[in-house]
């Protein structure tokens, strides 16, 4: 077999494994060994930490929603940590001081993780929960996520993401979000998830030590959890609702930042890829994160190898199929109002995602690191709608 054929076959197999092979193997393992989460109606003390930077337009909706959460008042502590806000966010939060909301703030902007770390220092809860300002939580969210900690093997818990319409009704989540939620369900059944939803997750207090202000908090929390011999799980009953990004053109930049931060964390926590020490989790981390981040390189190699073999009919047909895929993606991206069906949207989404991953690798190689996380701009949910999310 020629080198170009090996390269083409290996690259295609790698892409297939990253997107399809891994979840299929997870499904088999979940059928063979299912690790259930033993929930119970426990009520540990919970500190809900809300990080905010210049969130004046939507912090009031977030606080009204938070104060409606159904959890015993003496056992729920609400902390808003303001990361050097200068738009009146602090003044709005201060209005809620009489209703049990506590404000802590950094004197200057230091980044989301640094702000969360400041809140952790003064938090008193046995469980630390984290939520973004743009995230709206159903009334039972804290109670549901707390039930998972009745299982002593659970160190942290991730919510399930839901996109919500302007009226507060569930919206189409999109194929990619559903795919990610499926992976987390399967990973939970097998052992541990390898990532948490930054919009809403919770962890035992001891899992949040050490807290790294220079690393992505959700990914770093999983790292701490596994190192302490515990596991992270995804809870289908803990829901985090949010609107889509107000400016879709900024979605690409968000993806680049997210992957760059993920690569940075994995590089600093690469010992977790050692299967002799962390067993099955190392394979999950390799497959879910690193393999996914290497897919764009495999796609490029597959195209180059295919071009080299294109004179032969079977490889010529395969090249036409590859170019057709990219053609559909270009149409879906350049003329979305005309080409808006799934045959155009999905190829465009996959190309855009992998282009953002390449961009992130380039930034990482050049030494770029993100210390100050800028949340994506999402429209406010609206006062009445924020408290009435329908699931």
| pLDDT tens-digit map of 237-257 | 999 987 665 455 677 888 999
* Digit-coded pLDDT (tens) for 89-126: 999 999 999 999 999 999 889 889 999 999 999 999 99
- 23 and 287 in contact (C-beta within 8 Å)? no
pTM value? 0.87
**Two tokens, residue 190:** 């097998």
- 104 and 118 in contact (C-beta within 8 Å)? yes
Res. 300: pLDDT tops 70: yes
**How many helical (H) and strand (E) elements, i.e. helices and strands, does the chain have?**
15, 7
* Digit-coded pLDDT (tens) for 333-360: 999 889 988 899 899 999 999 999 999 9
d(CA 154, CA 38) in angstroms, rounded, equals: 9
3 state SS of 78: strand
- Residues 224-252 as b/e (b if ≥16 CB within 10 A, e otherwise) read bbbeeebbbbbbebbbbbbbeeeeeeebe
Looking at the domain that runs over 46-245, which CATH code has it been given? 3.90.550.10
Domain ranges in the chain? 1-32+251-375, 46-245
């Amino acid at each position: 077999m020629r080198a170009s054929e090996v390269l083409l076959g290996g690259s295609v197999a790698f892409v297939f494994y990253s997107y399809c092979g891994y979840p299929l193997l997870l499904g088999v393992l979940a059928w063979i060994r299912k690790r259930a989460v033993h929930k119970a109606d426990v009520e540990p003390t919970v500190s809900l930490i809300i990080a905010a930077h210049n969130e004046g337009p939507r912090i009031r909706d977030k606080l009204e929603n938070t104060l409606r959460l159904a959890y015993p008042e003496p056992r729920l502590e609400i902390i808003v940590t303001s990361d050097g806000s200068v738009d009146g966010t602090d003044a709005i939060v201060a209005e809620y001081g009489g209703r049990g909301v506590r404000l802590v703030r950094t004197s200057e902007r230091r980044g989301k993780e640094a702000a969360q770390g400041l809140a952790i220092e003064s938090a008193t809860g046995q469980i630390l929960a984290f939520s973004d300002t743009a995230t709206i939580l159903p009334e039972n969210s804290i109670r549901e996520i707390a039930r998972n900690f009745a299982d002593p093997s659970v160190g942290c818990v991730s919510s399930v993401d839901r996109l919500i319409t302007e009226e507060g009704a569930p919206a189409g989540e999109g194929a990619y979000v559903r795919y990610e939620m499926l992976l987390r369900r399967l990973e939970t059944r097998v052992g541990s998830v390898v990532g948490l939803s930054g919009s809403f997750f919770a962890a035992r207090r001891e899992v949040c030590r050490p807290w790294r202000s220079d690393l992505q908090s959700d990914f770093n929390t999983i790292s701490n959890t596994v190192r302490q011999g515990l596991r992270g799980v995804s809870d289908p009953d803990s829901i985090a609702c949010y609107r889509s990004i107000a400016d879709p053109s900024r979605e690409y930049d968000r993806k680049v930042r997210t992957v760059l931060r993920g690569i940075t964390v994995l590089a600093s926590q690469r010992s977790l890829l050692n299967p002799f020490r962390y067993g099955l989790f190392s394979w999950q981390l390799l497959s879910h994160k690193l393999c996914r981040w290497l897919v764009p390189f495999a796609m490029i190699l597959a195209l180059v190898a295919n071009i080299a073999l294109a004179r032969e009919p079977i490889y010529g047909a395969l090249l036409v199929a590859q170019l057709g895929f990219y053609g559909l993606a270009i149409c879906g991206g350049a003329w979305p109002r005309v080409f808006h069906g799934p045959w155009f949207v999905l190829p465009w989404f996959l190309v855009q995602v992998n282009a953002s991953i390449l961009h992130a690798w380039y930034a990482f190689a050049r030494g770029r690191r993100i210390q100050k996380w800028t949340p994506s701009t999402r429209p406010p949910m609206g006062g009445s709608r924020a408290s009435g999310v329908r699931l």
